Structure 1
Amino acid sequence: MIHYLLKSISYIFHPLLMPLLGVIFYFSKTPRFIPEPVMKAKLFSVTILTIILPILLYFLLKTIKRVESLELKTTKERIIPLILNVLIMLLILKRVLPYDEIPELYYFYLGILLSTLTCLFLAILKFKASIHMIGSAGFFMFAVALSIHFKININGTIALMCIIIGAIATSRLHLKAHTNVELLIGFFVGFVPQLVLLNYWL
């Protein structure tokens, strides 16, 4: 029972969802007026580019035998998906969330791009940082920054996210997908870019 619970946590809080969750969180907390059609268009575009497109690309890579499983268990398997994700992030920054429209989301996705590039570099060096931790840590730092930026109290949300990050780490360890070091490095790879970029928008 515990095994299936921990395994389900890895799927429920999959790293593919984190960029979209960041956009949803921003729109739910921002005091700025943003027309509903604009919000829907941004959410639709981000959903297509960060969830639907990567899933389709995964099946393509699996068909041509470039990856073996969704877990991307080896560093070699990670390289092409990470390169494709870098291209997707660049497209989002250029076309969907440019700086002059919503700066906070622009820098959030710029942080994701930097984290992805770092993860790619580590994969080339044959080090497998936890992408689950990268995604959750990046979203966590962005949420904390938004609470400071907009002066809103999200202490309950922050506490819940800490519990979720702990559950994700426990899940990855239980499934033997990562070591403690890979989880820790993954956390900092996701956390630090978001923290550094605060200097430009907070």
Structure 2
Amino acid sequence: MNYILKSISFIFHPLIMPLLGVIFYFSKSPRFIPTEIIQAKLVSISILTIILPILIYYLLKTIGKTHSIYLRSAKERILPLGLNCIIIYLIVKRVFPPSEVIELYYFFIGVLLSNLTCFILAILKFKASIHMIAVSGVFMFYIALSLHFGININGTLALMAIITGAIATSRLHLKAHNYVELIVGFCIGFLPQLTLLNYWLT
């Protein structure tokens, strides 16, 4: 059981969540988007949200700014979160500007707001769960897309609810967070996506 719960935290790592949101959008969108464009966007997002943060982590570890991939202390999170905010801003400006894919533009605006909130809380020495921030933001985005496109994805939403619960259980079991940090993390991820629906949901 310990191995399973630990694996959940790695399988559903926060770094992969934005990519899952983008993949889901392209798989469900009724709009015609050339395959070449989709592939280019997916490669860009993979590089910017997964590969680049990993490289930055190892750089920070090399120069002694981080000590563990788990970023156990709030202080240790400040610099990685700040750099990640810059990366997300670049995605908003260059990869998904509002003139191209409005849904993904606001999805990443929500991701940026969540990251900024987590960054500010880290400065204030509060360690919100980044795992919960990531999964709850994507969960809300899936719900919004089901309403926006008028599609039935109840199975996917049920699976996301199970995954969210499994991640929370995993983080508690590993003593990475307490209940308050998990709940705050969930709200930080969920609420920006919910609030931004006013700008694109029709």
1:8-19 equivalent positions in 2, closer than 5 A: 8-19=7-18
1:118 aligned onto 2:110:
no
Displacement after TM superposition at 1:165 (Å): 0.3
**Unmatched 5+ stretches in structure 1:** none
Taking the aligned partners of 1:141 and 1:132, their CA distance within structure 2 comes to 14
Aligned residues: CA RMSD: 0.3
In the alignment, the residues of structure 2 paired with residue 101 and residue 151 of structure 1 have an alpha-carbon distance, to the nearest angstrom, of 21
Q: Distance in 2 between matches of 1:93 and 1:160?
A: 28
Displacement of 1:119 after TM fit?
Answer: 0.2
2:160 is aligned to 161
Counterpart check, 1:29 vs 2:28: yes
Query: Are 1:98 and 2:132 matched, yes or no?
Result: no
| 1:52-71 equivalences in 2 (<5 Å) | 52-71=51-70
Structure-2 separation of matches of 1:102 and 1:134: 23
**Identical-pair percentage:** 69
For 1:143-167, what per-residue CA distance to the aligned partner results, in whole angstroms no more than 9, with x for missing partners? 0000000000000000010000000
The one-letter code matched in structure 1 to 2:173 is H
Structure 2 runs not aligned, ≥5 long = none
- Separation in 1, partners of 2:143, 2:86: 27
Equivalence for 1:140: 139
What amino acid is aligned across from residue 159 of structure 2 in structure 1? L
**Letter in structure 2 aligned against 1:84:** L
Deviation string 1:25-83 (CA, Å, 9 cap, x unpaired) is: 00000000000000000000000000000000000000011001111000011000001
Cα distance in 1 for residues equivalent to 2:22 and 2:155: 19
Q: Which amino acid aligns with 1:160?
A: L
CA-to-aligned-CA distance 1:104-158 (integer Å, 9 cap, x gap): 0000000000000000010011000000000000000000000000000000000
Count the aligned residue pairs: 201
User: Which letter maps to 2:150?
Assistant: K
Q: In the TM superposition, what is the alpha-carbon distance from 1:181 to its structure 2 partner?
A: 0.3
- The amino acid across from 2:200 in the alignment is W
Runs of 4+ in 1 over 6 A off after TM superposition: none
For the residues of structure 2 that align with 1:189 and 1:70, how far apart are their CA atoms?
Answer: 22
For 1:50-89, what aligned pairs fall within 5 Å after superposition?
Answer: 50-89=49-88
